[in-house]
Amino acid sequence: MNFERLTAVGVAVLGTVFLVAALAAGGAAGTDVTLTVSVVDQDGDPVGDVEVIATWETEDDETRTATGTTASNGKVFLDAPENATVELDVDDDTYIRNRPLTVEEASESAVDLGVVRSGTATVSVVDTEDRPQADARVRVREGGRTVDSGRTDESGAFTSDRLERGTYELRVVKPGFNETIQEINVTGEANASVEIERGTVSLDVRVLDDHFDPPTAIETGTIRVESSVYDAEVTITEGTVSLNVPVNVDYTAEVVKDGYGAGSQMISVGESDVNANVTAQRTPTLSVTPANERVLVGETTRVTVRNAYDEPVEGVTVEVDGTEVGETDDSGELAVSIDEAGEREVVATDGDVTSEPAAITGVDEGGDANETDDANETNGSDGTGDSGETDDGSPGFGVVAAVAALLGAVAVGVRRGRGPD
């Protein structure tokens, strides 16, 4: 046997060893154990012909089940992963469990699964005037947990079909009514009548504008409060609203005020007085204010963009006659050049909101004299027309006019100094 063949045989043998080891490890990880489940009734007697369901979670968070039916001796064999947490339950018309039996760290073992004969409970719900109440929520509870629940039908009735026989707590509630609690003893077919009473509590609401930090009161306007059993719109007084509302209801509340956006908030009301805050903000807007309404062609003027709260807005796009010319700085301002005569339309937009247009008139230097003089007066760097300069510091017609006037005054003085010839 040559060296190459020996090498190949060695690799094959090693591969087989690794494969066997891997299969062995995998088999160990996936080992099943058999649970011997004995179903017995409340007297300890075996119960045959009952379907038993085993449920567990895999390492991948998937739910797996195994089922089987008991023999006449009440036993059934179910396989489950070793060391898994397994829940055992029954599915039967005669016998029932209110909750599954949990088996921790499953192993080859025998498990007794107790069952009892099922009973029924029919609950009739009425108000204080003995009128049936539909859509009331009924919860059947045992040991601090709910074993069944539902809502009453049009006749005010709810039936729990499959319960272990025993004593239960009934909790009944309906929007607008106080919760009522009473007991019911289920021995077969049990019936109970439950009376519920209407109730109200105080709801005090503070109305706030949370644009500010901390939020400030919205002093005027109204609050609309709505639910399936209540609807009202109440005037805001000094930033607050007080109402008397039905109990056990979820309400939606919203601020109704000019200039504010509509946005509802949920307020849950139980059987105690409630204090709540309802917030709103102004409807987003942008406005453009030019420093000068008339600008010489070729010169610039600054525009300021403000939001609905009259605050300067940074990073807003400014357009002149539909053409983007730049974005506002941290003071909400941008220098805009006017390159043509006539009225120019300036708008600001942030992508969601666009301002109303502002007009700036471009005035040609060679245009009408009065028009030019008016333009000169409005083109001072501070917007007052006193400096005779445009916003960028370039001399305008105001300087020219002043020089001309000075020269004229000097000429008059010279003539007067000379006297008559």
Find the helix or strand (DSSP H, E) in which 401 lies: helix 397-418
Contact 397, 368 (CB under 8 A): no
Closest alpha carbon to 36 in 54, 63, 49: 54
Q: What is the pLDDT of residue 117?
A: 86
Q: What is the pLDDT of residue 42?
A: 83
Neighbours of 192 (CB within 10 A): 18
Helix (H, G, I), strand (E, B) or coil at 3: helix
User: Domains (ranges, CATH) in the chain?
Assistant: 31-114 (2.60.40.10), 119-195 (2.60.40.1120), 201-280 (2.60.40.10), 286-401 (2.60.40.10)
Closest alpha carbon to 163 in 91, 88, 90, 96: 96
> Is beta strand 116-126 parallel, antiparallel or unpaired with respect to 189-195?
parallel
What is the separation, in whole angstroms, between the first and last Cα of the chain? Answer: 144
Residue-wise pLDDT tens for the chain (421 aa)?
444 444 444 444 444 444 444 444 443 446 999 999 999 988 899 999 999 999 999 988 899 999 999 999 999 999 999 999 999 999 988 888 888 999 999 999 999 999 988 899 999 999 999 999 999 999 999 989 999 999 999 999 999 988 998 999 999 999 999 999 999 999 889 999 999 999 999 999 999 999 999 999 999 999 999 999 999 999 999 999 999 999 999 999 999 999 999 888 999 999 999 999 999 999 999 999 999 999 999 999 999 999 999 999 999 999 999 999 999 999 999 999 999 999 999 999 998 999 999 999 999 986 543 444 444 444 444 444 443 444 444 444 444 344 344 444 434 343 444 443 3
Helix (H, G, I), strand (E, B) or coil at 184: strand
> Is beta strand 317-320 parallel, antiparallel or unpaired with respect to 342-349?
antiparallel
Q: What is the pLDDT of residue 188?
A: 87
Q: Which residue has the tokens 């709810």?
A: 158
10 Å CB burial of residue 391 (0-12, 13-18, 19+) is buried
Q: What is the pLDDT of residue 30?
A: 64
Q: Which residues contact 137 (CB under 8 A, 6 or more apart)?
A: 149, 150, 151, 172, 173, 174
Q: What is the pLDDT of residue 18?
A: 43
Q: Which residues contact 393 (CB under 8 A, 6 or more apart)?
A: 381
Contact 326, 318 (CB under 8 A): yes
Contact 319, 349 (CB under 8 A): yes
Beta-bridge mates of residue 78:
35
Q: What is the pLDDT of residue 12?
A: 46
Helix, strand, coil tally for the chain in percent (to 5) = 15, 50, 35
Buried/exposed code over 207-241 (b: 16+ C-beta within 10 A; e: otherwise) = bbbeeeeebeebeebbbbbebebbeeebebeebeb
Contact 202, 244 (CB under 8 A): yes
> Distance between CA 348 and CA 355 in Å, rounded?
5
